[in-house]
Structure formats: C-alpha cells, structure tokens
C-alpha cells in the first residue's frame, strides 16, 4: 500500500508500508525542527540535574527506497535542557551533513570530510572535551554541535583523526580518555583502527588491526588490561548495494571471535578467542578477573541481518549473557543473565571496565506497541527489576546519572524518552534507580512525537558549559 506521510515541514516522504516496517508508526521521521520553552512537568525534577539530556537517531528528510535500512538516514538530535528543577527547553535539530546542505540548497558544512560522506552522524551524541559531538560508525566524521544543538561543523578532533570514527567510544573513568574501535567501508576492507582521544580532544594514538574481512564493528569494550575487539559474522558485501542502501549481512562462514588487545600492545599481541556464532551490537560492561580471565556482559542475538535486511529486530531479539573469556586456554564459558529481550545496556559511568553490580537495559519487543520496559539487573543477587512504562508506551535507552549525595552504585536517576504510541506523543522521564515502585520522579511533556532512535547521554553543564 502506498502511503504518503505529510508531517508539516520540508517535504512529504513516499513509502511503502507493506515493505518497510522501519518507516511506519513511530519509526517514521518528523520533519520540523522545533524549539519549545518552559515545558509542562509532572512531579519534581531534581535540582542537581543541570545540563542537557540528548539523544540521536535516524530521521530521513527525503524519499527513501522501499528496502531502506533503519540505520541509514540523516541524524536528528532531540534534547531536553534541565536547570534548577525546571525543564527549560526541548529542541530537535538535524545533524548537519553534505546531503542535508544540498537538500537545503546551502553550502556544505565546514570541516574535513575524509571519506566524502554524504550523510551525517545519526547514532550517538555525547559531551567530551568541553564540546558536544554527534557520532556515527563506519566512516562518517564526528560533527560538533553547539549548546542549542545547531551544527558547528565536522570536527576530526582538531584535525588529529586520520580516518573514521565510531558511535560507541568508551571514556576510561580513570584517565578520562576516549577509546574507540573504528571501521570504514569501502575504504578499509581488511582492517579496523583503534583510536585513543586524549582529554584535550586530540587523538594521541592510532593502531591498525588487520582482519580477515570487514565486519560490522559497532561497539567495543575496555577493561583495565584490555581493549576488547568484537570480530563478528555480519560482513560487508558490496554487491548488496545493488538492492539496498545497506551492505552488511549475516555470514556464518566468517566465524565469531573476541580479541583481547593489551592496552599498550600491538596487533600482534591480540589474543583471539573463538566464540559461538551470534551478534552483539552492545556490551553492557566488561572487567578483568584475578585469575586472568575477562568477564563480558552483552546483549547477544543468535543471528543478525540474515533474512531481515531492513533492521535489527527481524531475525530474533537479544538476550543478556555473561561471558567468561580465558586468554590462556582461549576458551569461553557462557551464562544467561536474562532470557528476555535486552538491548541498549548502560551502567554507572565510573564502573566502566570494573567489576560492577548494576546494569540497566531496555526490554524490547519486535512490536513496540507491546511496550518497552526499563530493566535494572542486580548482577550480584541475580534479581531483575522492571519499570513498566505502561501499555503502548515504549521506553528508550535509559541513561544513568549518579546522585551527588551518595556513593552507592545504584544511587542515581535513569532518564529516557518514552514514546506513547496510544496518542503519538513523547515524554522525557526521570526514574529513581533505587526505587522503581515510586513511579516517575518527573515527567516532562514533549510537544512533539519523537521517533524511535538510538543512543544519547546526559551532558552536564559542568562537562559542556552553556554558550
Ligand atoms: Fe549502538
């Protein structure tokens, strides 16, 4: 069935709703950039939360093919500004790119575009080195945003980044440095690159890592001893570009392995350990054990992009697993933490790469109308607590922000957007991570529908000052 969506705004998007689930319902894009001040709040926003909650996601602005992939499309950042117990504004802004500039009949945005990428970062947004960064994997340069989410331009870390970047860097809690494992196609088909960005926002180290093929290396892990590399069986196939705008697919012949790169090591020092076939977009956390083994908690799919080449949910959903990887015996043991679907894992930033007790995730379902709940996993007791957002209400990635007055690992707030499919609306919500039964600490009414998106972060005013 042909369907024409006419959200007010720049253009009307033609799509075929029988073919592509990622252009329907709350996956479909919005087309206006909105600014709203003094938002309606239910409950009380904690006064210690001064900064911005930001989240990035794909938001195509022009016609897309029927086999369009959810991961493709212009980035749009949605943000809520909190200050002194009030929700000061909501903004949504496209992330600048060559294709958006062309569409708007404007000059291309500034900054080096190392691979001449047409798209803009659509996957994550974070504060680092006093700046706000929109990020994407596989080649596109980071784009710097101002405090009000307007694009400043591409920023290759002041010209120090030689090539690609990623949407999932890990900031080391001990050093404050940002570590990234990056891939690119079609430029790099036989290696990835490990990148370390110093606290001054400039790259201080790169290391090329040869691979037998070009895997979709979405994320990484970092422990005190190791950088962890996920070399998984979702492989670039340039022939797919003839029928899709996304050239990655399941290839079990590639095998599946984890690489343990000593932090100061070279590519020759990597210990590769074969693991069962599967695909994980996101590790929850990883840490070293006294016996030399490494624990990795991750949301693992049995297959990815096997029959569904439009998005991640058509070939099954991920469960939360704990891996124990032994570099001496090159062996792995696996325990299931939670059989239900778990995605978008998070934890307290300061326990990154350390033994930890609490992890947070989203219990997704293939149909968001079933509701997406926020989960809190007590990895010590084995208990999982569920924050149910209600029928037809889908919570997104829950960002954990610690309370200033406590050192307990779970003393803090979870914040996310909730998409209410009952009335096509959205809320920004704050949850007390130690007290789910309390309900929402605060609900901020967003004056627009917000499409489902990917990742975001709380960017405090201390880390990126208001302009
Ligand atoms: Fe991701």
pLDDT at 31: 87
- 96 pLDDT exceeds 60? yes
Residue 212 Cα to ligand 1 midpoint, Å, equals 23
H or E stretch at 429: strand 425-432
Tell me the torsion sign for CA atoms 445, 25, 75, 362: positive
Contacts of 74 (CB under 8 A, 6+ apart): 58, 59, 60, 61, 94, 95, 97, 99, 100, 119, 120, 122
- 2 pLDDT exceeds 80? no
Mean pLDDT, range 320-324, rounded to an integer: 98
For the chain, the straight-line distance linking the first and the last C-alpha, in angstroms and rounded, comes to 47
pLDDT at 19: 58
Domains, the chain, in order of start with CATH, read 2-460 (2.120.10.30)
Residue 7 Cα to ligand 1 midpoint, Å, equals 27
Task: Yes or no: say if 333 and 348 are a contact pair by the CB < 8 Å rule.
Answer: no
| Confidence grade of residue 15 (pLDDT, cut at 50, 70, 90) | very low
Task: Yes or no: say if 453 and 55 are a contact pair by the CB < 8 Å rule.
Answer: yes
Distances from the Cα of 34 to the Cα of 78, 93, 205, 362, 449, angstroms: 10, 8, 39, 27, 11
Residue 220 Cα to ligand 1 midpoint, Å, equals 10
CA atoms of 153 and 202, how far apart (whole Å) = 16
Residue 77 Cα to ligand 1 midpoint, Å, equals 15
DSSP characters for 317-333? --EEEEEEEETTTTEEE
- The token pair at 9 is 């705004």
pLDDT at 9: 38
Mean pLDDT, range 224-241, rounded to an integer: 95
Task: Yes or no: say if 69 and 23 are a contact pair by the CB < 8 Å rule.
Answer: no
- 249 pLDDT exceeds 90? yes
pLDDT: which is higher, 66 or 236: 236
CA atoms of 367 and 279, how far apart (whole Å) = 21
Contacts of 290 (CB under 8 A, 6+ apart): none
3-class state of residue 97 by DSSP? coil
pLDDT at 136: 97
Residue 246 Cα to ligand 1 midpoint, Å, equals 16
Beta bridge partners of 431: 414, 440
| Confidence grade of residue 243 (pLDDT, cut at 50, 70, 90) | confident
Mean pLDDT, range 222-245, rounded to an integer: 92
pLDDT at 18: 53
Tens digit of each residue's pLDDT (9 = 90 or more) over 439-449:
999 999 998 99
pLDDT at 24: 87
> How many Cβ atoms from other residues are within 10 Å of residue 382's Cβ?
9
DSSP class of 108: P
Tens digit of each residue's pLDDT (9 = 90 or more) over 377-421:
999 999 999 999 999 999 999 999 999 989 999 999 999 999 999
DSSP class of 267: G
Residue 133 Cα to ligand 1 midpoint, Å, equals 15
User: Does the model's pTM come out above 0.85?
Assistant: yes
pLDDT at 12: 38
Tens digit of each residue's pLDDT (9 = 90 or more) over 29-84:
998 999 999 899 999 999 999 999 999 999 998 878 778 899 999 999 999 999 99
Q: Which of 194, 257, 217 is nearest to 136 (CA)?
A: 217
> How many Cβ atoms from other residues are within 10 Å of residue 434's Cβ?
17
Share of the chain above pLDDT 90, in %: 86
- 10 pLDDT exceeds 80? no
CA atoms of 260 and 248, how far apart (whole Å) = 24
| Confidence grade of residue 6 (pLDDT, cut at 50, 70, 90) | very low
- The token pair at 381 is 């007791």
Lowest mean pLDDT among 46-50, 183-187, 300-304, 387-391: 183-187
Residue 329 Cα to ligand 1 midpoint, Å, equals 30
Lowest mean pLDDT among 185-189, 255-259, 458-462: 185-189
Residue 21 Cα to ligand 1 midpoint, Å, equals 19
Mean pLDDT, range 436-461, rounded to an integer: 97
Q: Which of 441, 381, 391 is nearest to 416 (CA)?
A: 441
Task: Yes or no: say if 399 and 457 are a contact pair by the CB < 8 Å rule.
Answer: yes
- The token pair at 436 is 């789910």
Mean pLDDT, range 296-310, rounded to an integer: 95
CA atoms of 84 and 38, how far apart (whole Å) = 12
Average pLDDT score over the chain:
94
Residue 50 Cα to ligand 1 midpoint, Å, equals 26
pLDDT at 254: 98
pLDDT at 20: 74
């Amino acid at each position: 069935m042909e369907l024409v969506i006419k959200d007010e705004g720049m253009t009307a998007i033609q799509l075929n709703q029988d073919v592509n689930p990622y252009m329907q319902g709350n996956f479909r894009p919005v087309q206006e950039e909105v600014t709203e001040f003094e938002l309606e709040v239910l409950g009380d926003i904690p006064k210690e939360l001064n900064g911005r909650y930001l989240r990035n996601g794909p938001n195509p602005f022009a016609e897309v093919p029927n086999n369009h992939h959810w991961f493709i499309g212009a980035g749009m950042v949605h943000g809520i500004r909190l200050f002194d117990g009030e929700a000061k504004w909501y903004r949504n802004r496209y992330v600048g790119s060559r294709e958006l500039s062309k569409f708007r009949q404007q000059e291309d945005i500034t900054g080096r575009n190392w691979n001449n990428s047409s798209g803009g970062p659509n996957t994550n947004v974070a504060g680092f080195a006093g700046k706000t960064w929109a990020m994407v994997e596989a080649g596109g340069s980071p784009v710097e945003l101002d405090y009000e989410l307007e694009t400043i331009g591409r920023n290759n870390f002041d010209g120090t980044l030689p090539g690609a970047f990623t949407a999932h860097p890990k900031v080391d809690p001990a050093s404050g440095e940002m570590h990234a494992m990056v891939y690119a196609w079609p430029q790099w088909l036989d290696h990835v690159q490990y990148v370390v960005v110093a606290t001054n926002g400039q790259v201080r180290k790169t290391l090329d890592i040869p691979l037998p093929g070009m895997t979709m290396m979405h994320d990484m892990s970092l422990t005190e001893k190791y950088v962890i590399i996920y070399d998984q069986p979702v492989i670039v196939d340039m022939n797919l570009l003839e029928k899709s705008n996304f050239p990655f697919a399941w290839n079990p012949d590639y095998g599946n392995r984890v690489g343990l790169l000593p932090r100061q090591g070279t590519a020759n020092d990597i210990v590769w350990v074969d693991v069962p076939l599967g695909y994980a977009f996101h590790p929850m956390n990883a840490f070293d054990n006294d016996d030399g083994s490494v624990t990795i908690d991750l949301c693992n799919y049995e297959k990815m992009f096997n029959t569904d080449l439009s998005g991640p949910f058509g070939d099954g959903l991920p469960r939360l697993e704990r891996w124990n990887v032994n570099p001496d015996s090159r062996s792995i043991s696996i325990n299931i933490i939670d059989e239900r679907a778990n995605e978008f894992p998070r934890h307290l930033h300061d326990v990154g790469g350390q033994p930890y007790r609490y992890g947070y995730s989203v219990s997704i379902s293939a149909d968001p109308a079933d509701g997406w709940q926020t989960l809190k996993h007590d990895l010590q007791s084995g208990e999982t607590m569920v924050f149910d957002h209600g029928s037809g209400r889908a919570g997104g990635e829950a960002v954990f922000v610690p309370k200033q007055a406590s050192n307990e690992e779970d003393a803090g707030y979870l914040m996310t957007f909730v998409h209410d499919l009952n009335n096509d609306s959205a809320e920004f919500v704050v949850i007390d991570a130690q007290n789910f039964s309390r309900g929402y600490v605060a609900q901020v009414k967003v004056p627009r529908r917000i499409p489902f998106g990917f990742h975001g972060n709380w960017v405090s005013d201390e880390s990126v000052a208001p302009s």
